[in-house]
Amino acid sequence: MEFPLQRALVSAEPLPSSLRGMFQEEWGIDTYQCYGTADVGTIGFECVRKEGLHLAQGLVVQVCDPVTGEPLTIGDVGEVVVTLLNKVYPLIRFGTGDLSRFLEEPCSCGRWASPRLAGFMGRVGDSVKVRGLFLHGHQVKALAGEFPWVRGLQVVVDREGVRDTLVIRVEGKASPNDLKALKTRAEGLFRLKVDAVETVASGELKGSKSLEDRRKWD
């Protein structure tokens, strides 16, 4: 199917190859991605080769050990740390929370002087981005603490086709009204639609992460 839009630049979350393929092959939209944060703005962008993210000018970008903060060797995966030398809004070694690595080989587009990031490779800590919004582990714990009948609670983020899904798994004796109230409160607290609330057997969530991201970005 041909679509009037011929070219698109997308951001806010990773662009899986499956979604890019749908845009380009089914709809005929030449699709690129860029990477940035609300604090910094654009950090990196794709060129016509789509072989990694060229760094934007005016930034100092490092890939650092998430624990020590020390810069890593080219090719090693670490946290993206950005310094923005702006007189109005300076940022010194701002940790984005995103994991990536620098690509060693030069881009085939010929921009030899422009370093590139490999793209999004995960998050540092217990936060994930769902449908463009951050969801944090402390929000999940706060939700569980508001309901005395809850004995264990886990939020699972997954993907069906090109859409993120959010399912709450919960331990405890609950009525249908209890589960409905939990779902309503979660949507208000997370500012995200919850697809389902599922009860699980006692002890099933023991040792599980309170916020689990099962999405694959290939």
Whether 12 and 120 map to the same domain: the answer is: yes
Q: What is the pLDDT of residue 4?
A: 85
Q: What is the pLDDT of residue 218?
A: 65
Q: Is residue 2 part of a domain?
A: no
Place of tokens 């060797």: 73
Compute the average pLDDT of residues 53-67: 94
Report the CATH number that the domain containing residue 184 is assigned in CATH: 3.30.300.30
Compute the average pLDDT of residues 161-183: 94
Q: What is the pLDDT of residue 2?
A: 62
Whether 87 and 46 map to the same domain: the answer is: yes
Residue 1: is its pLDDT beyond 60?
A: no
Residue 18: is its pLDDT beyond 90?
A: no
Residue 14: is its pLDDT beyond 80?
A: yes
Whether 120 and 138 map to the same domain: the answer is: no
Compute the average pLDDT of residues 118-139: 88
Please report, rounded to a whole number, the percentage of residues in the chain having pLDDT higher than 70. Answer: 98
Q: Among 93, 125, 157, where does a domain finish?
A: 125
Q: Among 99, 125, 151, where does a domain finish?
A: 125
Domain housing 76: 7-125
